[in-house]
């Protein structure tokens, strides 16, 4: 929000876009909740299992999308790019048949040493990729919803009202709801 000299609020295009996205996301959540409320007419235990799973898995999806978005935005801002081969070369020669490497006589090469060298190279890439994605994996926005999910499951189980089928269906619908809501909130319109 921007303020003018007369202190009347002026909403910029950027603020309007954010408000509109949150309105759309809220509408998606309301529609899902209205559909879930129908389960309350059938059985309270089915409703509470479905709702617990839906809510927690939706939080997990939104937290994951938010932490991943922060990671991507940070990498874009720092101009850190992973190594990429030339795209045209990949299309023209996908198996690197015409590469500039010299042909090596197979009788002179020790296969075991080649395999060891390749494993070292792949392990270094794996460790580097894992380390670069670690902030998104251990983000509080991701771990918090998982903790809530576990606590909800334990609460249902301790009160002897856990029903696995409604709970599992709720997890699936929560992932779908979180994906739709997260897409509206976190993915900018082109």
Least confident range from 20-34, 44-58, 105-119: namely 105-119
- What are residue 2's phi and psi, to 5 degrees? -115, 150
> Quick count: other Cβ atoms within 10 Å of Cβ 15?
13
Q: How far is CA 29 from CA 63, 110, 118, 174, 181, in A?
A: 15, 61, 49, 10, 7
Measured from the Cβ of residue 34, the count of other Cβ atoms closer than 10 Å reads 9
**119-133: buried (b, 16+ CB within 10 Å) or exposed (e) per residue?**
eeeeeeeeeeeeeee
Other Cβ atoms less than 10 A from the Cβ of 134: the count is: 11
% of the chain with per-residue pLDDT over 70: 67
- Does residue 122 carry a pLDDT above 80? no
Q: What is the pLDDT of residues 98-121, one digit of tens each?
A: 666 655 555 566 777 777 877 777
Show me where the domains of the chain are located: 9-79+104-186
CB-based contact 139:65 (threshold 8 Å): no
**DSSP assigned state of 101:** P
CA distance 18 to 188: 10
How far out from the chain centre does Cα 117 lie?
34
């Amino acid at each position: 929000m921007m303020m003018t000299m007369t202190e009347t609020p002026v909403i910029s295009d950027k603020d309007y876009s954010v408000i509109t996205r949150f309105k759309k996301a809220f509408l998606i959540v309301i529609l899902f909740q209205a559909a879930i409320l129908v389960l309350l007419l059938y059985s309270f235990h089915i409703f509470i299992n479905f709702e617990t799973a839906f809510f927690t898995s939706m939080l997990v999806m939104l937290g994951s999308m938010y932490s991943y978005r922060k990671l991507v935005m940070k990498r874009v801002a720092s101009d850190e790019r992973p190594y990429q081969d030339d795209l045209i070369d990949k299309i023209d020669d996908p198996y690197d048949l015409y590469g500039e490497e010299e042909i090596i006589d197979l009788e002179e090469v020790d296969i075991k040493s080649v395999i060891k060298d390749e494993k070292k190279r792949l392990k270094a890439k794996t460790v580097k990729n894992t380390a670069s994605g670690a902030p998104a994996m251990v983000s509080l926005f991701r771990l918090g919803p998982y903790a809530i999910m576990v606590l909800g499951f334990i609460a249902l189980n301790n009160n002897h009202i856990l029903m696995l089928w409604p709970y599992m269906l709720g997890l699936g619908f929560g992932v779908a709801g979180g994906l739709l809501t997260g897409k509206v909130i976190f993915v900018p319109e082109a």
